[in-house]
Amino acid sequence: MGTDAFISLGQRALELALMASLPPVLAALAAGLVAGVLQSVTQIQDSTLSSVPRLLAALAALALSGRWAGTQLQQFLVDVLACLPEVGS
């Protein structure tokens, strides 16, 4: 296994980490934006009104995208484990 294969695995790992974390981050961003607009319109300045919707949105996004992310991580692990015999030789 050459250097190119290690770089490819590293690149794939970074892309997978980005894609797996993107749904909850975007959901929390959208929920925070909506909560911020609602807080500014109603002039209610309570910290729980901005953090609870973000948390719920991130959890909902994880629940919806968790199966896909788990499948992708499992496939990546299978690919990495398949490359291990080549590293030893």
Residues 22-79: pLDDT tens digits? 999 999 999 999 988 888 888 887 777 778 999 999 999 999 999 999 999 999 999 8
- Of 21, 24, 10, 20, residue with least CA distance to 68: 20
Dihedral of alpha carbons 49, 55, 59, 60, sign: positive
pTM, whole model, 2 decimals? 0.78
